[in-house]
């Protein structure tokens, strides 16, 4: 396996990495970022825009029941991550390298993505709903672990002044992967299958001979994500340097990992600042995850957007997410991670307020006569002013949400103890996943209580403001090592 180290880190001669090691060269850093490109189509195609609505509406056949089952599955994902992430992180710190873990997770995820091809409506055979949900639980859990091990590599790849920019680059490259995947699915599969538009450059039928009658244009999302992952994990494996193996045998690594985890718990006061940050990050991240998950559901319910509209929605937002990751990284390097998070979360609060101020009959809470105004243009999607404003608002939110994800990862890399980086990124992954029910539960409670999708989406603002408030007391300083 080829690894590459620079004689000098990018843009900062003779400066060691954030963990005191020789940093990666430019090729190694870019290859690390490309792993986000490998992971992102799973998130956009399977988890958000294509497979998830297909599963709820078509496989289950009842959107309400389908959403309920999807929520239960993701609750179990949180349990799995809660039980395993800190332990796996502690074990990884004992064994040394992170790339073997990432390769193993890809080896699990890719076949599971391929298996989603057999997720068919009941009348067409295929996998039972329980088996599909088991695959989703496996995929979502492994996805969170890839984030944990991949993020744990970050501080050893770049100098302290460059780590924020590299984190932002990774997020942006990941969104570029979503952009390419969404474009292929929209132009090559979704629009030819729907025949909504008569664009001459579109194929006459979906690519690869996909049969719309058998919902193959939806089912192909899994195999596409699986192939994508296999291909684009290669640069990371070839060119990104990894920590050398410690030679600790697996049984000893498990024993020492458990001991280290228990010692961390007993000495929690030494890591109070990191703990406070994780609580703050949990709150605002749960809000952001829920906003992403329900942005499409809100639009489908309020504006009656179909799959084509959802894909275009995601396609338009992705460039802004890319810009958000890059600007967030620049701001982080210049002003620090804490200040960058405060700006991005504050911007998300403003964007959320603007988003919930729009309905077909209201613009910024002001009544709007859609019948008298008529359509803005002849394009078959986003034809009304409220829809355009909602779309524009989420352009801002795509940038601020992405920036916050990038800045949050960098903050953890700046304050976690160097010798326990994987373990703390396990706790970081736990804080971002195991309590994901907070955002979803809050949306459900407010939607049910007020019988309003608007109230449900707006409730995520409670978590945003709470996390932003706690962040005020977090110090951006490295925690001491345990002696």
Tens-digit pLDDT profile for residues 303-313: 877 777 888 88
Joined together, the tokens standing for residue 45 give 């195609």
- Report the C-alpha gap between 379 and 394 in whole angstroms: 20
User: pLDDT for 350-401, tens place per residue?
Assistant: 999 998 898 888 888 888 887 777 777 777 778 888 888 999 999 999 899 8
CB contact set of 365 (below 8 Å; sequence gap of 6+) = 357
Report residue 422 as tokens: 């994987």
Q: Is 159 helix (H, G, I), strand (E, B) or coil?
A: coil
φ, ψ of residue 362 to 5 degrees: the values are -145, 145
For residue 252, the surrounding DSSP H or E stretch is helix 250-266
Q: For residue 45, give the nearest of 214, 272, 220 by alpha carbon.
A: 220
Q: Is the pTM of this model over 0.95?
A: no
The β-bridge partners of 157 are: none
Is the separation of the CB atoms in 149 and 109 below 8 Å? no
Helix pair 26-41, 163-185: axis angle to 10 deg: 40
How many whole angstroms separate alpha carbon 95 and alpha carbon 90? 9
- Sorted by sequence, the CB contacts under 8 Å of residue 455 that are 6+ apart come out as 446, 447, 449
Task: Indicate the range of 9-13, 97-101, 156-160 predicted with least confidence.
Answer: 9-13
Q: Dihedrals φ, ψ of 5, to 5°?
A: -120, 145
400 contacts: CB under 8 Å, gap ≥ 6: 324, 344, 345, 347, 348, 351
Q: What is the pLDDT of residue 13?
A: 44
In sequence order, which residues have a C-beta less than 8 Å from that of residue 479 and are 6 or more positions away? 270, 271, 273, 274, 415, 416, 417
pLDDT at residue 130 is higher than 90: yes
Per-position DSSP letters for 64-95, written without gaps between them? HHHHHHHHHHHHHHHHHHHHHHHHHHHHHHHH
Interval 320-360: pLDDT, tens: 888 888 888 888 888 888 999 999 999 999 999 998 898 88
- For the chain, give the number of residues: 483
Write down the residue that tokens 């890809």 correspond to. 106
pLDDT confidence of 430, banded at 50, 70, 90?
A: low
- Return the pLDDT at 63: 67
Residues 435 and 290 sit within 8 Å (Cβ to Cβ): no
On the question of pLDDT at 300 being above 80, the answer is: no
Categorize the per-residue pLDDT at 421 as very low, low, confident or very high, splitting at 50, 70 and 90. low
Element counts in the chain: helices (H) and strands (E): 20, 2
Write b or e for each residue in 276-308: b if 16 or more Cβ atoms lie within 10 A of its Cβ, otherwise e: ebbbbbbbbbbbbbbbbbbbbbbbbebbebebb
- Residue 402 vs residue 109, higher pLDDT: 109
Band of the pLDDT at 6, cuts 50, 70, 90? very low
CA distances from 147 to 23, 58, 86, 108 (A): 20, 30, 13, 15
- Domain 26-241+249-471: which topology? Growth Hormone; Chain: A; (1.20.1250)
Residue with tokens 């890059």: 326
Structure tokens at 166: 């590299």
How would DSSP label each residue in 20-43? SSPPB-HHHHHHHHHHHHHHHHII
Using alpha carbons, list the distances in angstroms from residue 42 to 111, 131, 183, 296.
Answer: 12, 18, 14, 17
> pLDDT at position 260, please?
64
Residue 106 has pLDDT above 70, yes or no: yes
Closest CA to 289 of 146, 449, 94, 463: 463
The lowest-confidence range among 107-116, 240-249, 460-469, 474-483 is 474-483
pLDDT in tens, 202-216: 888 888 888 888 889
Q: Is residue 239 very low, low, confident or very high in pLDDT (cuts 50, 70, 90)?
A: very high
Q: Judge contact between 89 and 152, C-beta under 8 A.
A: yes
With vertex at residue 71, the alpha carbon angle to CA 69 and CA 72, rounded to the nearest 5 degrees, is 65
Cα–Cα dist 145/101, whole Å: 9
């Amino acid at each position: 396996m080829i690894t590459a180290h620079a004689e000098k880190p990018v843009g900062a001669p003779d400066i060691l990495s954030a963990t005191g090691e020789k940093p990666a060269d430019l090729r190694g850093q870019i290859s690390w970022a490309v792993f986000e490109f490998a992971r992102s189509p799973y998130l956009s195609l399977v988890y958000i825009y294509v497979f998830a609505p297909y599963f709820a509406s078509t496989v289950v056949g009842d959107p309400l029941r389908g959403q309920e089952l999807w929520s239960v599955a993701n609750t179990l994902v949180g349990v799995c991550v809660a039980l395993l992430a800190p332990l796996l992180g502690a074990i990884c710190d004992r064994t040394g390298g992170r790339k073997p873990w990432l390769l193993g997770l890809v080896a699990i995820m890719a076949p599971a993505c391929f298996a989603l091809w057999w997720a068919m409506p009941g009348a067409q055979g295929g996998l039972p709903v329980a088996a599909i949900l088991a695959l989703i639980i496996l995929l979502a859990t492994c996805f969170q672990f890839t984030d944990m091990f991949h993020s744990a590599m970050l501080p050893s790849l770049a100098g302290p002044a460059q780590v924020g920019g590299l984190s932002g680059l990774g997020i942006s490259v990941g969104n570029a992967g979503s952009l390419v995947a969404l474009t292929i699915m929209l132009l090559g599969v979704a629009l030819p299958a729907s025949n909504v538009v008569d664009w001459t450059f579109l194929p006459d039928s979906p690519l690869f001979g996909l049969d719309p009658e058998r919902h193959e244009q939806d089912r192909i999302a899994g195999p596409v994500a699986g192939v994508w992952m296999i291909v684009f994990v290669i640069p990371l494996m070839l060119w990104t340097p990894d920590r050398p193996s410690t030679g600790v045998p697996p049984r000893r690594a498990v024993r020492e990992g458990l001991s280290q985890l228990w010692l961390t718990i007993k000495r929690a006061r030494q890591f109070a600042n990191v703990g406070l940050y994780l609580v703050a990050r949990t709150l605002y991240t749960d809000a952001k995850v829920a906003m992403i998950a329900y942005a499409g559901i809100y639009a489908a319910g309020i504006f009656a957007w179909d799959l084509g509209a959802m894909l275009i929605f995601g396609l338009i937002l992705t460039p802004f997410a890319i810009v958000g990751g890059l600007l967030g990284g620049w701001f982080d390097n210049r002003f620090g991670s804490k200040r960058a998070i405060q700006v991005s979360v504050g911007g998300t609060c403003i964007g959320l307020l603007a988003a919930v101020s729009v309905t077909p009959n209201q613009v910024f809470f002001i009544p709007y006569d859609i019948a008298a105004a008529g359509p803005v243009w002849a394009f078959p999607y986003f034809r009304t002013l409220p829809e355009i404003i909602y779309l524009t608002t989420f352009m801002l939110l795509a940038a601020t949400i992405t920036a916050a994800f990038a800045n949050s990862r960098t903050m953890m890399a700046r304050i976690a103890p160097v010798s326990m980086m994987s373990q703390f990124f396990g706790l970081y992954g736990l804080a971002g996943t195991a309590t994901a029910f907070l955002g979803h539960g809050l949306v459900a409670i407010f939607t049910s209580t007020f019988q309003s999708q608007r109230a449900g989406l707006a409730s995520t603002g409670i978590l945003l403001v709470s996390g932003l408030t706690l962040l005020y007391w977090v110090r951006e300083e490295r925690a001491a090592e345990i002696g």
